[in-house]
Amino acid sequence: MEQHNEDRQNSLANDIFPVKNYLQPSSPKERDGFQPWHKPRKQYVREKQWCQEIRELFDEHPPENNIFKYLGLPGEDLLDLRYFHDKICVPRGFKLKYLGFNNDGNSSVERGSDLHVSLHEVNRLGLVSEESAIMPDNFCKIADEKTPASKKTKHLGPFDVINIDLCDGIGKQSHEFLQTHYSTLSRIMNLQSRRKNPWLLFITTRTAGPKQIDEGVFEVLKKIYVENLEKCPSFLEASMTERSISDETSLDSVIESAKGKADVFLVSLCKWLAAMGLSLTPKVEVKVKSVFGYKVYGGEDFQDMTSLSLLITPTDSGVNDPYGLAFPSQRDVNECELAVHALRLVCSQLDVDAVLEESAELKEEMIHATGELLELARYNKGRYLEWAGQANKR
């Protein structure tokens, strides 16, 4: 049995990179070089948004066959996979079947080696499915159904949770070619339409800073916002209350500020996803659950990194009876209400930096939780605690 497990680990490692005769180092090198995503605010999002909402999802809708199916963009430390295994799967006895996309290993031998070691460690955890995989691809290749990335996503899905955790903006790409964030989201929504139960979509994106939102994309999203103003009286009322936007002229004035543009971008992105959900057969409801934000760019005075959580619920539509003898079985979805809900949550998003600054105890808790997680990935916890203390003073 041990030989079988070892062969499986080596096979998975070779699936990521073209490395022959990969062997787990007997004494893996201790990691150093802490990154911005190692700050305690990321742990707050991981614990208070992602993990909490996954628990709530599974309280109502346990995963099929007790297998938690997860798609994400893990870094070479695989921190989220380790965390979800220990905090979600272990207490509930669920298996974790994951599909990850990471092409960072192609950038350097060292990063590739770190990813190999992390993969070996994670796949040895007690509740990880043998079908789990990391692909050495940009996840935007999912958009092209002919690619291995798209085929693997279809094969392992549909997923309970999809986590698109970006360092840059989801809106920074032009929409004039196939393998973009937008086409990938469209493909994912289509593949996920096979699900009968609700699922979670997390999107972490920059909303300001140099070249984080493509102007052509923003024009499309701006049009979505204006259409909502014209077609939904409740959205118009909420927009005037929250952002003083009543028409295209006032919108143009608001988006002159980076904060105003960021809010319009996020609201319109959520509305675009909601409209896409209602175009599927059967229709699905895309509802914003929570919005967390924090600052990453020194030139901004607002939260320019946002983590969106969206709950996507099938409407269980039945056969359409054109003569009306059969009672309609489809749950009604009010698109205007979804847009108003998104607007209010975006404009009142939780400021994670402020929350941690207001509670020294909570900040310390998040620092130590991050240190324990990093220690699993071969970092020195003591050095991390020192680094985190200095980083918080800056």
Give the largest CA-CA distance in the chain.
72
Q: Does the residue 385 lie in any domain?
A: yes
Q: Does the residue 122 lie in any domain?
A: yes
The CA angle 355-359-361, to the nearest 5 degrees, is 130
Are 118 and 76 spatial neighbours (Cβ–Cβ below 8 Å)? yes
**What digits encode the pLDDT tens for the residues 43-97?**
999 999 999 999 999 999 999 999 999 999 999 999 999 999 999 999 999 999 9
- Model confidence at 31, pLDDT cuts 50, 70, 90, reads confident
CA 276/CA 279 separation, integer angstroms: 5
- The residue out of 112, 136, 160 marking a domain boundary is 136
Give me the sheet containing 161-165, strands edge to edge: 133-135, 95-101, 67-72, 161-165, 199-206, 305-314, 284-294, 350-351
- Model confidence at 390, pLDDT cuts 50, 70, 90, reads confident
Distance of CA 235 to the CA centre of its chain: 26
Are 345 and 19 spatial neighbours (Cβ–Cβ below 8 Å)? no
Structure tokens belonging to residue 335: 């698109």
Q: Does the residue 204 lie in any domain?
A: no
**What digits encode the pLDDT tens for the residues 227-256?**
999 999 999 999 999 999 999 999 999 999
Structure tokens belonging to residue 89: 């799967």
Residue 187 main-chain phi, psi, to 5 deg: -65, -40
pLDDT of 114 higher than 50: yes
Which residue stretches of 102-194 are H helix? Answer: 109-123, 148-156, 181-192
pLDDT of 26 higher than 80: no
Are 94 and 55 spatial neighbours (Cβ–Cβ below 8 Å)? no
- The residue out of 136, 158, 191 marking a domain boundary is 136
Nearest CA-CA partner of 200 in 58, 84, 349, 47:
58
pLDDT of 3 higher than 60: no
Q: Does the residue 147 lie in any domain?
A: no
Going by the DSSP 8-state scheme, the letter that residue 353 receives in this structure is H
**What digits encode the pLDDT tens for the residues 158-213?**
999 999 999 999 999 998 888 899 999 999 999 999 999 999 999 999 999 888 99
At residue 243, what is the residue type? R
Q: Does the residue 13 lie in any domain?
A: yes
**What digits encode the pLDDT tens for the residues 341-381?**
999 999 999 999 999 999 999 999 999 999 999 999 999 99
The percentage of residues in the chain with a pLDDT greater than 90, rounded to a whole number, is 77
User: Could you tell me the pTM of the whole model?
Assistant: 0.90
CA 151/CA 41 separation, integer angstroms: 35
Q: Does the residue 69 lie in any domain?
A: no
Are 221 and 268 spatial neighbours (Cβ–Cβ below 8 Å)? yes
User: Which residue range is the domain that position 382 belongs to?
Assistant: 359-394
Task: Give the pairing type, strands 67-72 and 95-101.
Answer: parallel
CA 315/CA 332 separation, integer angstroms: 8
- Model confidence at 23, pLDDT cuts 50, 70, 90, reads very low
> What is the number of structural domains in the chain?
2
Q: Does the residue 160 lie in any domain?
A: no
Residue 340 main-chain phi, psi, to 5 deg: -65, -45
What is the predicted pLDDT for the residue at 13? Answer: 41
Q: Does the residue 393 lie in any domain?
A: yes
* DSSP calls for 253-312: HHTTSHHHHHHHHHHHHHHHHHHHHHHSSS-EEEEEEEEEEE---TT-SS--EEEEEEEE
